[in-house]
Amino acid sequence: MPELPEVETTRRGIEPHIINQTIKNIAVRQRSLRWPIPKQLEQKARNQKIESVERRGKYLLLRLHTGTIILHLGMSGSLRICTANTPAEKHDHVDFVFGNNKILRLRDPRRFGAVLWTTKDPEKHKLLSPLGPEPLEDSFNGKYLFEHSRKRTASIKSLIMNSHIVVGVGNIYACESLYIAGINPKRKSGSLSLARCEKLVSAIKHVLAESIEQGGTTLRDFIRENGEPGYFAQKLFVYGRAGEPCSNCGKPIKQIKQQQRSTFYCARCQK
């Protein structure tokens, strides 16, 4: 599933190709994504310029003069840039065709993605308005996490994965950040000191920023005409390493289930 770093990498990859370009046409081959693609989208967006390519959480926002196209990659979606004569394959559901002879193409085999249209401030859209702060922005800091975790009995792992608290901390990033901060994923959120909240926030920022940076090295893949876009595998300390020795203390990494998701951690290093 594309996580925040992949979505940000996608944003950076497509932006130079479509910014200030005029949408000549939108070819929709499959309307039934997670929600149906609005019928008026083609007509509303046609002949408008892409004024900016932004990201909020895992949503991409293509801002036009009269509204905003909201894109989500769902479970299996990807976007890439190709030239206008590139034949569409089976799961290539939507093409945004630009005046510069380029196409922004959405491929989504499992069809959990979304292409929506709003004329309002997209921050007020019902999908975006409940979202917590961006993890890399200053408003997400140790004090914020400390205040929002008081009296909470939920595990700290589930708290940082809650998009109302902070967006974009997927399962892999949650496991890795908790390891770096030395915090047991099962610990009750309300029991963390301010200092440990600060440590955790800084670990989350570090893990996400590093992942985005690594994604940046694969940006050229967005203009590849075939194949998958440049998602990437990060060097991981605990995730997917059950039974392997902890790189700090050598004790085997443990795997447990929390909220139906696998958690990996070191019982000696994470308290």
Site residues, Zn ion (CB under 5 A): 246, 248-249, 266, 268-269
Question: In whole angstroms, what is the distance from residue 69 CA to residue 119 CA?
Answer: 9
Q: Give min distance, CB of 238 to Zn ion, in A.
A: 9
Write out the two tokens for 98: 């630009």
Task: Note if 16 is an active site residue.
Answer: no
Task: Note if 58 is an active site residue.
Answer: yes
Q: How far apart are the first and last CA of the chain?
A: 29
Question: In whole angstroms, what is the distance from residue 265 CA to residue 254 CA?
Answer: 5
Q: Give min distance, CB of 244 to Zn ion, in A.
A: 11
Task: Note if 124 is an active site residue.
Answer: no
- Do residues 224 and 231 make contact, with C-beta atoms less than 8 angstroms apart? no
Q: Give min distance, CB of 245 to Zn ion, in A.
A: 8
Q: Give min distance, CB of 161 to Zn ion, in A.
A: 22
Which residue number, 195 or 249, has a Cβ lying nearer to Zn ion? Answer: 249
Burial track 144-177 (b if 16+ CB lie within 10 A, e otherwise): bbbebbeebebbbbbbbbbeebbbbbbbbbbbbb
Catalytic one of 11, 55, 58, 105: 58
Written in H, E and C, the secondary structure of 126-178 is CCCCCCCCCCCCCCCCHHHHHHHHCCCCCEHHHHHCCCCCCCCCCHHHHHHHH
Eight-state DSSP code of residue 189: G
Which residue number, 61 or 178, has a Cβ lying nearer to Zn ion? Answer: 178
Task: Note if 245 is an active site residue.
Answer: no
Q: Residue number with the shortest CB distance to Zn ion?
A: 246
Q: What is the identity of the amino acid at 102?
A: K
Q: Give min distance, CB of 249 to Zn ion, in A.
A: 3
Write out the two tokens for 255: 């795997």
- Do residues 104 and 138 make contact, with C-beta atoms less than 8 angstroms apart? no
Q: Exposed/middle/buried for 241, CB within 10 Å: 0-12, 13-18, 19+?
A: middle
Catalytic site positions: 2-3, 58, 261
